[in-house]
Amino acid sequence: MKRILLTGFDPFGGEQSNPSWEVVRRLDGLLIGDSHQIVSARLPCEFVNSLLILDVALRQHQPAIVICLGQAGGRADISLERIAINVDDARMSDNAGAQPVDVPVVSGGPAAYFSSLPIKAIAQELHLSGIPASISQTAGTFVCNHVFYGLMHMASSMDSIQRAGFIHIPYLPEQAVAHTGAASMPLEMLKTAVLKVLESVLKTDKDLRIAGGATH
Positions touching a second copy (CB under 8 A) are: 13, 70-73, 75-77, 79, 82-83, 85, 87-92, 99, 101-102, 110-114, 120, 126-127, 130-135, 137-142, 144, 168, 172-174, 176-177, 180-186, 188-189, 207, 209-216
Neighbouring residues of 32: CB distance < 8 A, sequence distance ≥ 6: 4, 38, 195, 198, 199, 202
- 153 in active site: no
**Closest distance of CB 53 from a second copy, Å:** 20
Q: Which of 43, 45, 22 is nearest to 175 (CA)?
A: 22
- 36 in active site: no
The smaller minimum CB distance to a second copy, of residues 60 and 137, is found at 137
- 81 in active site: yes
The smaller minimum CB distance to a second copy, of residues 2 and 176, is found at 176
Active-site residue among 168, 174, 199, 216? Answer: 168
50, with CB counted inside 10 A (0-12, 13-18, 19+), is: buried
**Closest distance of CB 77 from a second copy, Å:** 6
**Closest distance of CB 2 from a second copy, Å:** 27
Neighbouring residues of 111: CB distance < 8 A, sequence distance ≥ 6: 85, 86
Q: Say how far residue 32 (Cα) sits from the centre of its chain.
A: 19
- Residue 42 belongs to what H/E stretch? strand 36-43
Instruction: Give the catalytic positions in this structure.
Output: 81, 144, 168
